[in-house]
Structure 1
């Protein structure tokens, strides 16, 4: 089997990598971490112009990609660049809108004219079956009541796609100008709490369970690919540090015990890369949930191990705010907790 990128995807990968290297250095990242909306609207517009959001949506739905490998190609580069732009929210909201047949909305999202987030989970609801946000018909529009928690990419959005309970089933609704409580995430980027108090909404689908599950799987796949990109940079950064740091008159990279530890990390990283490729090949199939859950379970466990090892091998500098390695390690550990940690994914595998 050929694991190399196609020519088109290689061009996309190279474009994103060059842009992030030239236009989104760590000084830019530091500048957006502590101030709302916790990303750069100017850089977001430039990324949209590069066509990244369009690559998340199939051509027949208004985009020009939409496959698992289109998603992993972009997110692996975002991981390498440790980019805090709300691309995960863009991926999930664009695919959800496309699956609901909201063509005009998809066009606005793809061109960067509008940015929305996807709000699914609640403070006491970590699965679709437990969602209690309600949707009631009032005349010719819908009214939503409830609360959504840790909505990725929420600060500064033009609207939110919200999952809400109907009399029968689960629907997906668009809420414009939402009431939010925004905050920065500790690993970069923004999130927020969504307060729905008789909020007026537009119904995109009255039976959206399959759509939401599919969108969440795409988001989990994206996180797996991002983690692979983060791992690669962090492991290489650690190896370079070991070559430069001297002890007892020679580089500590020459110590066999440390070599064994770096080899273990490299093996885990390549296993994560392989299972992400497998999961990407299954996106859109009946088996996508199982394989994506398997990938995220492995990456959650391996990512934590690699992050901890890299920090320990660096010593004190690995814990400092000024050193980029600490930010990569933090992001790698937090990816495990997004859209269900490795324990939740293990249960998904057992249930499939």
Structure 2
């Protein structure tokens, strides 16, 4: 099987790497965290100008019609740079709902402003007791004439503070854990009845707990079948997990490079500590963990377009499990090899560890996906 990038894909990689190497140094990132919403509007505009916000969308919708490999390339670069901007929430997740389930009218209304950087989105899915089960939904959407009325509360909505539009999962019928009776709705973030509690997350992003009290949206707000959207949700979340795997690989790759460079420059007993054989062995183990994660990320990238949803889910779960294990190992070793400086806010390496920890716990942690892989009978 050929894992080499095509010429167009190499050019894409060079373009996004070049953009982020110029505009996303660690000191700049700290400044972006203080801007409105916790990320840079200027960087978002530059991502739009380079066409990166339009990569996955069909040409008929104004995009480039590119696939999962191109998404992997971009997410890998975003992981290396510790990018704060809501690419995952807006382009991958919300864009995924529009691509796979949106009507022509919904795509025409929402995709062009995503592509040109005028609108950002957030995915409001997690609930207080739902853990990682996508079908565990208590937020309700009830019909009132031609409208839907949404009631409930969502937690840890990444980019929920500044998003223009929320993509909300809500139950239209049935009990809390029924797999049927779940819909997905496009909700303007400034509509009456929405209240937000905003806060920073451990990895430097910003999130919000969002309460919906009698929030009324039109019939056109439902994406796809409002009573049977779980398959759509699972497909989009699998794409998000795959994107997170690629982002984690980028973060692990950069963590290893930073650590190796530190070992070359940190002296003890008059010599660089990188000359100590025991530390060289640790770095070798980190490299093995990185390559295991990279191979599984590639595997998930190929699987994300599988027509068989069950096979796709098994593969993505296996990849997310490996990413979680590799990320934890590389993050912990990076901190330990840096010593006390690695625990400070001034050291970049600690911020990579925090991001890897958050990725591991997004859309299912390692134990959750280990259970899914075990139940599926997949050998990894």
Corresponding pairs, count: 352
Unmatched 5+ stretches in structure 2 = 174-179
Contact 1:38 1:155 (C-alpha < 8 Å) held by counterparts: no
Contact 2:135 2:230 (C-alpha < 8 Å) held by counterparts: no
Whole-angstrom distance in 2 between the partners of 1:88 and 1:65: 17
Output aligned runs, 1:89-108, within 5 Å. 89-90=89-90, 91-101=92-102, 102-104=106-108, 105-108=110-113
Change (3 A) 1:165 1:47: same
Q: Which has the larger displacement, 162-171 or 230-239? A: 162-171
Contact 1:88 1:152 (C-alpha < 8 Å) held by counterparts: no
Secondary structure (helix, strand or coil) at the match of 1:129 reads coil
Q: How far 1:304 sits from its partner (Å)?
A: 0.7
Secondary structure (helix, strand or coil) at the match of 1:2 reads coil
Match of 1:223 in 2: 244
Output aligned runs, 1:279-290, within 5 Å. 279-285=300-306, 286=308, 287-290=311-314
Q: How far 1:338 sits from its partner (Å)?
A: 1.1
Q: Does 1:112 align with 2:117?
A: yes
Q: Does 1:197 align with 2:213?
A: yes
Whole-angstrom distance in 2 between the partners of 1:159 and 1:229: 28
Runs of 4 or more above 6 Å deviation? none
Residues 284-336 of structure 1 deviation map (CA, whole Å, 9 limit, x = unaligned): 21222111111110110111111111111111111111121111122122210
Contact 1:78 1:229 (C-alpha < 8 Å) held by counterparts: yes
Whole-angstrom distance in 2 between the partners of 1:110 and 1:339: 25
Question: What is the alpha-carbon root mean square deviation over aligned residues?
Answer: 1.5
Match of 1:42 in 2: 42
Contact 2:68 2:301 (C-alpha < 8 Å) held by counterparts: yes
TM-score, normalised via structure 1 length: 0.96
Q: Which has the larger displacement, 289-298 or 340-349? A: 340-349
Output aligned runs, 1:238-253, within 5 Å. 238-253=259-274
Contact 1:144 1:198 (C-alpha < 8 Å) held by counterparts: yes
Whole-angstrom distance in 1 between the partners of 2:370 and 2:223: 32
Whole-angstrom distance in 2 between the partners of 1:212 and 1:198: 24
Whole-angstrom distance in 1 between the partners of 2:157 and 2:146: 28
Output aligned runs, 1:148-297, within 5 Å. 148-167=154-173, 169-176=181-188, 177=190, 178-201=194-217, 202-205=221-224, 206=226, 207-285=228-306, 286=308, 287-297=311-321
Unmatched 5+ stretches in structure 1 = none
Secondary structure (helix, strand or coil) at the match of 2:361 reads coil
Q: How far 1:282 sits from its partner (Å)?
A: 0.7
